[in-house]
Each structure stands twice: as structure tokens, then as C-alpha cells.
Amino acid sequence: MGSYTASAQRLVDEMKVAALADPARGLAFQGAPGANSDLAAREYDPDSLPLPCYSFQDAIDAVREGRVDRAIIPIENSLHGRVADIHFLLPESGLSIVGEHFLRIRYGLMSRDLGPVTRAMSHEQALGQCRNWLRANQIAPIAHSDTAGAAAWVADSDEVGLAALAPPHAAEIYGLTLHGTGMEDADHNMTRFVILAREPLADLSAIEGPLMTTFMFEVKNIPAALYKALGGFATNGVNMTKLESYQVAGSFAATQFYTDIVGAPGDENIDRALEELDFQTKSLRLLGTYPMARVRGG
């Protein structure tokens, strides 16, 4: 477990007391107060009590151990792709996905005004989303565990030329000068978050609107394994909106797949497709069925 700088820790302590006193409203997130995940938590559930956690594992553990009922975790970004380690943490967590939320990502450059900015500190995802702007302005990127945590670090540092790339309101939270906004390299910069809980949603029939189902599977080591595994979705007309491969346990064989589909178990077509998938694969693990927050395709 890591630690926050003094400026962030004071806010963390206040938020922690509130969230732990009311676990049903508690919503764990990774980062310092003011991070994009903090914003996402407040947008997703304005009545929630966000709980700052230093790492993704800390946020997941807060739910697993019953200190709060839910966590909100970023899973992918429209510019920078998959969030590192999430595809490993999700299946190992034992938690269920019960919701999703999309957050428009904006960054501001902020500092203590200790000379011209020559270095910008932020989460590696944020640095990747602003890499063209940083290069054009000859500002060196410095990786930090969190965007708002970087702002807190800058607030507590006397280093000349050091700035942070963080959500613009973090400048006010940590008493920094906001030099400008819109450093992200594209206007469509969007991050998808998933909401995790100890139990899956109990009554899917009460949910209005389309549902999403997320699962992971491992193909057999045979020719055309992926083709055979996915055939049932095509023949049953199931819309697969995401299919992503990744390696586990040091293997270079792309045998693990993370998948999103539109619909839910209990639908006849989905049940047939999942039955075919289960037959054709080494393992299949459902991670959750939940309301669709944003229509896919078009």
C-alpha cells in the first residue's frame, strides 16, 4: 500500500471517515481526491460517498472485505486503450460488474508558478492521452500513480518548473495555478468505468433498457480455436461489442479473451451462444450483467 502527500492525505482522511461510516453509500476508487475516478463516482451516483484508495487492488479489497459496498474502476480509454492490469484484477477479484459509466476526460496544466513549466507529472494513462501536446510544448512527462495525486505532489513540492496534468478542478482543491485546459489530444477522449460489488444484480427483469454481459474465456490450443468459440454468437445473432486478447502467467500465447456482449443470460439466443462457447473453450467465467450506459455501434 502506498501513501499520499500531506495535501491529499488530509482530504483522504475526511472522505474515508464518511464512507466507512455508511458502507451502503461508500464507493471506492483509485486515486487522490479530485481524480477522474472521483469525478466518475460522483457522476455515477451523486448520493455516494467516494472512498479514495491508493491502488486498484486497495479499491477492490475495500469491497471484498466489506468496508464499502461498491468500487468504480476504469477499464478502458478511447485514446489510450486498456487500463493496465485491470484484465488481471477483475477475474481474480471475485467481484461482479453491476454497472458501467462513461466519463468525458479533460486535463488542465497546473503548478505553483515556480518558473516556466518544463516537466509535467501525471498518471501514465493521462500522459499517454496528452503525449502530442506535451511533445509540441517540449514538456517532459513524469509518471505518477494518479492524476490528482500528481497535483497534490506538485502542491507539496518546491521543485522549479514542475507541473501536474490533472482534472482542472484539482487546481482549486490543491491551491495551484491553472495555466490552461484541453491538453488531451482529442475531443472524444472518454474513459469507461465499471462498478463492482460483492454480489451480481439480483433482479435483471426490473431493469429498463438494454443490458450488457461481460465474461472471460480461454480457448483450447487447437487450430481455429477462436473461430469455433465465437461461432455461436454469429449464428444466434448476438452483438459482441468487445473482444480483447491478453497473456497470463508469462505466456506469449494469446489464449485469454475479455468480451462484452449485448444482452443477458436467460435470453434464448445468449444462452445458446454461451453454451456453444463453453463447449469450445477451456474455461468460461461470467463477470457480470448490468445496464448499458452508452449505446454501442450506430
What pLDDT digit, counting tens, does each position of 205-219 carry? 889 899 999 999 998
pLDDT reported for residue 248: 67
Count of other CB atoms within 10 angstroms of residue 289? 23
pLDDT band of 53, cuts 50, 70, 90: very high
Catalytic residue among 5, 191, 255, 259: 191
**Domains of the chain and CATH, by start:** 6-104+190-197 (3.40.190.10), 108-181 (3.40.190.10), 204-291 (3.30.70.260)
Q: Which residue type occupies 210?
A: P
Q: What percent of the chain has pLDDT over 70?
A: 96
- Strand-pair category, 140-144 with 81-82: unpaired
Phi-psi sector, 221: left (phi>0), alpha (psi -120 to 50), beta: beta
Q: How far apart are CA 50 and CA 253, in angstroms?
A: 39
Angstrom CA distances, 169 to 88, 117, 180, 213, 251, stand at 31, 19, 11, 34, 42
Catalytic residue among 5, 29, 56, 193: 193
Alpha helix positions (H), the chain: 6-21, 36-44, 56-64, 86-93, 124-129, 131-136, 147-155, 170-174, 225-235, 268-280
* Residue 39 predicted with pLDDT over 90: yes
pTM confidence score: 0.90
Contact by Cβ (8 Å): 164, 120: yes
Mean pLDDT, the chain, integer:
92
* Residue 1 predicted with pLDDT over 60: no
Mean pLDDT over 244-268 rounds to 82
Q: Give the tens place of pLDDT for each residue, 143-184.
A: 998 899 999 999 999 999 999 999 999 999 999 999 999 999
Greatest alpha-carbon pair distance for the chain in Å reads 64
* Residue 122 predicted with pLDDT over 90: yes
Cell 492521452 sits on residue:
129
Question: Does 193 qualify as catalytic in the annotation?
Answer: yes
In degrees, rounded to 5, the angle at the alpha carbon of residue 103 between the alpha carbons of residues 98 and 104 is 165
Count of other CB atoms within 10 angstroms of residue 99? 20
pLDDT reported for residue 251: 63
Question: Does 213 qualify as catalytic in the annotation?
Answer: no
pLDDT reported for residue 255: 76
pLDDT band of 137, cuts 50, 70, 90: very high
Q: Which residue type occupies 173?
A: I
Count of other CB atoms within 10 angstroms of residue 138? 8
Phi and psi angles of residue 59, each rounded to the nearest 5 degrees, phi first = -65, -40
Which DSSP letter does residue 138 get? Answer: T
pLDDT reported for residue 79: 76
* Residue 254 predicted with pLDDT over 60: no
